[in-house]
Amino acid sequence: MKLVFLMVLVCSSSFASKSSANVEELKMNKRFGLGLSAGGGLSIMGIEGDVNVSPEFSLTLGLGTGIDYNTFMAKGRFYLPGQWVSPYAGFGVARWWTGGTKETKMSPSVLANKFLGGQTDFTKGFDVWMVYPALGVQFMHSLGFSFYVEVEYLFRLVSFTSGTYAGLGAHWYL
């Protein structure tokens, strides 16, 4: 995780000198982004739509998969805009569910060990709702390409079991 964060910072300094626009102007000119994510609220992988409401705030919706189950996520992020790299704090809600599967092992381990309590029979399915705060950093290039990395602390609703997870993603803003 530290290596990815360091790479984002190094890349941002090399790209920052190639354009005269800043992140705040860019986010207002390119408000809607489509992208892919790995980890995070969408579990293993997913697609996301992101809307820059203001230079400091965005809303994201996504659909994904944990291979043997489905995922949905909605989150808001509050940015501290920088030149090209913006740290942020966010809050989201996610649902991971299946109607039933013959698999006996579920990924990621936070789902299998924390939220499902070591359960191995998933033929009747499961439905896990979570809320989570997130801390992350976003790099945004002047062409509209964005890359983010975040750490989340997931809380399962009703039982309040919890666990940490991380995610990363890339968006192309139009």
What is the domain class of 2-173 according to CATH?
A: mainly beta
Mean pLDDT (the chain) is 88
Task: For residues 28 and 26, give the distance between their C-alpha atoms in angstroms, rounded to a whole number.
Answer: 5
Per-residue pLDDT tens for 78-115?
Answer: 999 888 899 999 999 999 999 988 887 888 989 988 99
Which tokens sit at 139?
């790099």
Q: Round to whole Å and give the CA distance between 79 and 86.
A: 6
Domain residue limits, the chain: 2-173
State the pLDDT at residue 89. Answer: 98
Give the tens place of pLDDT for each residue, 10-40. Answer: 444 444 444 445 888 889 999 999 999 999 9
- Using alpha carbons, select from 5, 48, 52, 26 the residue that is nearest to residue 150: 5
72: left (phi over 0), alpha (psi -120 to 50) or beta: beta
